Structure 1
């Protein structure tokens, strides 16, 4: 059985240790006219944060809590739709846009990941569930544009941090949210359902080790230990267990009794912006460390972390951050579920990625010269 700590225990997180850089974006200006002094300051702060930690928390970023909560409400409403309606918006082979039902992704190659996801790569109304959910398109489009504006500011600050022209990255990310055939940038809405692991015979929600009960409650309850009065799996067990992909995963028991919300991985884009509604099991391996550490939750903040493309571009000066989402040990945390929104920032598909695009640091130049001298010396000896 999963170990459980009492709700009085203080979580040991990077945030509780003051080990996560926090960057204030107040007064940064607009996407079209950013304040140069703020871009420069944020650039220098990002240089230190990303090179040492691979991540930072952004505050006063301009995306309101209410706008995020409304987006999560829209996602909850989508998850509550009938399976045949959700099937109309399922992600198709060869595309990134669309709905992904629980269990259909396995970042570690073997463990089904227990979450609902809706990937948005284009704001074309035909690809969004506007008909069953009026207002979905307008709100999510506005939110996507807010994230795009924030990403554009970060791209300029990153250029400053690397001592290159401020528009260098912007010019290579000109097609964000235009569709994954032009640019793989994606706004991903995520819902991790609550996990209940009561032993059989011990309570109303009897679920054996490793089995999950899915979304039949809202995560934004004011009661941290909220449990539903009724389990709808008990109402129509035959239908719930036999119809559709969601029914397949409404209860899932892994062979080893373990479950995962999101397997260990690094993002493969330039960087990722992550908003979340609560502490829900996000862990990272800091650069140079093999230890998994819980990040912690700062209400209202957005996490920025490096992806593989940025790591390649910068010769690993800004390393890609390995991360995962585990089932929290604390029962009161895992039983309420988790919402998040990830904005995966990618360059345009036609962009050529090369470390030679950026100037080398003095240390890199010295290393390169040393390697070249050794190569030349070896060649001379062999003549």
Structure 2
């Protein structure tokens, strides 16, 4: 395992930041691509704090990361590596199943947002125009397959589980992980509340219904020539929809984050033992854009040569837990994020109105 100091050096080195001399502030670093970095934060200091003052230090780090970049790395998050490894294993087992078995649990409804999505069906983008998204999908579909899982006790929208005989232990593992990620989301939102000068429990009654989405992602090997066309990517540039995304990366890499200041994409490399956490659209709206919902994408990692003119990208796995407010929660600018000189930029919207609208346009 790495120490927090070693991880900090690794994080800065991977981002091209010199690690000697005076440490500049995050606000200074992100102004240039050569010094851009995603802050690495030890969240155990918040989880184990014994006073509000101790919590506030970490809370300010997290809020500052979302203000300047929209992304942070969390170490000390409390999710065991054994559970994460088990989820990766069960996810890989599912995606290895024959297509006809996976198709039995196919995604078919944006409000439900549950089930298997085959390669090429989704095209993530910032556009909300259905015709434009359809054209993008035809020209440059995302080269990934996914499995979408929601709260299992929903009275209307049911998860689509493969049969236990086809995927032993899959359902049990994913339900355990879903609850674990919700618990972490709840604590991170407490830190954000403190960092925005709100009561620590401000978001609690607005996120407790667990209207989240656990997404298992598999990026199959693909010839690099297929990723070199205009607009091609493993997953196109987009922001996420909800409050936070908890992203678990394997060692392959490929995630890139847009520098909000230069608009150029910068790598967000895997760092052992960490979770990548980014703010989503609804948290940005809640904070009146004090917190950033930053564009990001997945590109091809270094290829493996198969001939003098062609290469193949390695397979990649990731796990994304999309944290959402309650579907009936009204998202409107927080009082601590507005003023006479900075009025609200957004009309109130419910979580359901916003997310279902975006999902309906994203899928074919």
TM bucket (normalised to shorter chain) is 0.7 to 0.9
How far has the Cα of 1:151 moved from its partner? 0.3
Could you tell me the TM-score, scaled by structure 1's length?
0.70
SS at match of 2:331: coil
Query: What is aligned with 1:157?
Result: 191
1:318 aligns with 2:291: yes
Query: What is aligned with 2:356?
Result: none
Query: What is aligned with 2:26?
Result: none
Q: What is the rounded CA distance, in whole Å, between the counterparts of 2:243 and 2:342 in structure 1?
A: 26
How far has the Cα of 1:290 moved from its partner? 1.3
Q: What is the rounded CA distance, in whole Å, between the counterparts of 1:292 and 1:303 in structure 2?
A: 16
Q: What is the rounded CA distance, in whole Å, between the counterparts of 2:11 and 2:312 in structure 1?
A: 13
1:328 to 286, 297, 301: 301
1:21 to 3, 23, 39: 39
Matches within 5 A, 1:11-160: 15-17=15-17, 19-26=37-44, 28-29=46-47, 36=52, 39-94=55-110, 95-108=112-125, 109=133, 110=136, 111-123=140-152, 127-131=160-164, 132-160=166-194
1:232-280 residue CA offsets vs partner (Å, 9 max, x unmatched): xxxxxxxxxxxxxxxxxxxxxx9x4874210001111111111111242
2:246 to 273, 285, 293: 273
Query: What is aligned with 2:4?
Result: none
SS at match of 2:296: strand
Query: What is aligned with 1:381?
Result: none
1:19-73 residue CA offsets vs partner (Å, 9 max, x unmatched): 221111226549xx99755532321111211111111100011112232222122
Q: What is the rounded CA distance, in whole Å, between the counterparts of 1:262 and 1:293 in structure 2?
A: 15
Structure 1 unpaired stretches of 5+: 1-9, 177-182, 198-208, 212-253, 369-383
Could you tell me the TM-score, scaled by structure 2's length?
0.73
1:162-199 residue CA offsets vs partner (Å, 9 max, x unmatched): 001111111110111xxxxxx3x1111111112344xx
The two structures, once aligned, show a CA RMSD in angstroms of 2.8
* Structure 1 residue runs of 4 or more that deviate by more than 6 Å after TM superposition: 10-13
CA contact (8 A) 1:39 1:156 kept: no
SS at match of 1:172: helix
Q: What is the rounded CA distance, in whole Å, between the counterparts of 2:205 and 2:342 in structure 1?
A: 30
Q: What is the rounded CA distance, in whole Å, between the counterparts of 1:103 and 1:276 in structure 2?
A: 21
Q: What is the rounded CA distance, in whole Å, between the counterparts of 2:302 and 2:263 in structure 1?
A: 20
Cα distance change on mapping 1:11 and 1:68 into 2, 3 Å: closer
CA contact (8 A) 1:28 1:35 kept: no
1:193-230 residue CA offsets vs partner (Å, 9 max, x unmatched): 12344xxxxxxxxxxx328xxxxxxxxxxxxxxxxxxx
Q: What is the rounded CA distance, in whole Å, between the counterparts of 2:13 and 2:283 in structure 1?
A: 26
> Is the radius of gyration larger for structure 1 or structure 2?
1
Number of residue equivalences = 293
Cα distance change on mapping 1:84 and 1:306 into 2, 3 Å: same
1:358 to 328, 335, 353: 335
Q: What is the rounded CA distance, in whole Å, between the counterparts of 2:53 and 2:274 in structure 1?
A: 22
